[in-house]
A and B are shown apart, each in its own frame.
Chain A
Amino acid sequence: EVQLVESGGGLVQPGGSLRLSCAASGFTVSSNYMSWVRQAPGKGLEWVSVIYSGGSTYYADSVKGRFTISRDNSKNTLYLQMNSLRAEDTAVYYCARVRGVALGWWFDPWGQGTLVTVSS
């Protein structure tokens, strides 16, 4: 069964750092494009970042320069390093596999999400 399980969320002060993890099972992270998507409380979905199977990375303007997406092939795990956190980064963070690369990418499946709260 294809499954994604996020961890690492929590309460952090403004300006602090946090690293999220997303453990995959049923498929190989390094052979797929993988993404992070977030959802602020009561708000809609916002794409955050993607890492290609070849290793290229891209970010939303709102997190560029502060967040870093990466993976550990030996652990079949995706990461999101978040630095210089702001109150507006407060959200549930989902990892998702990117499908249909040649057809107009979509996200499937999604993990259950991990909550990040930035507050003093």
Chain B
Amino acid sequence: SYVLTQPPSVSVAPGKTARITCGGNNIGSKSVHWYQQKPGQAPVLVIYYDSDRPSGIPERFSGSNSGNTATLTISRVEAGDEADYYCQVWDSSSDQAGVFGGGTKLTVL
């Protein structure tokens, strides 16, 4: 089955740029999606199809995907961005399985 690898934690100062990576074998050939989850809340889609933003998501959130790494970039980080972030792909080769990364805790210093 397909495996997605994320760093457990990333720390960033307010106003700086946070980059959260998601590694997978030739992940650049897949569509990658990102979710933000704050404590006690359901996940919220922040990036889909590698780099598209749903309506209502700030332009500070962006995504890229190439080779073996996809990246979620959060510019001008705010305290309210502190959350867990998960990447996700759909692995059609594994009997139609949804695959999530292990999640990254973003801490705003």
- Are A99 and B48 CB-contacts (below 8 A) given A58-B95, A106-B33, A110-B43? yes
Task: Evaluate contact between A108 and B54: CB separation under 8 angstroms.
Answer: yes
**Alpha-carbon gap, A105 to B35, bound state (A):** 13
Which 3 A-B residue pairs are closest in the complex by CB-CB distance?
A104-B31, A47-B98, A106-B33
Q: Is A100 an interface residue (CB 8 A)?
A: yes
**Contact with A45, one of B48, B90, B103 (Cβ below 8 angstroms):** B103
B84: min CB distance to chain A, Å: 8
Which of A47, A99, A110, A113 lies in contact with B100, CB distance below 8 A? A47
Contact size class for A?
20 to 34
Chain A's nearest CB lies how many Å from the CB of B71?
17
A115 CB to nearest B CB, Å: 11
Query: In the bound complex, how far is the Cα of B44 from the Cα of A111, in angstroms?
Result: 10
Q: Are A107 and B95 in contact (CB under 8 A)?
A: no
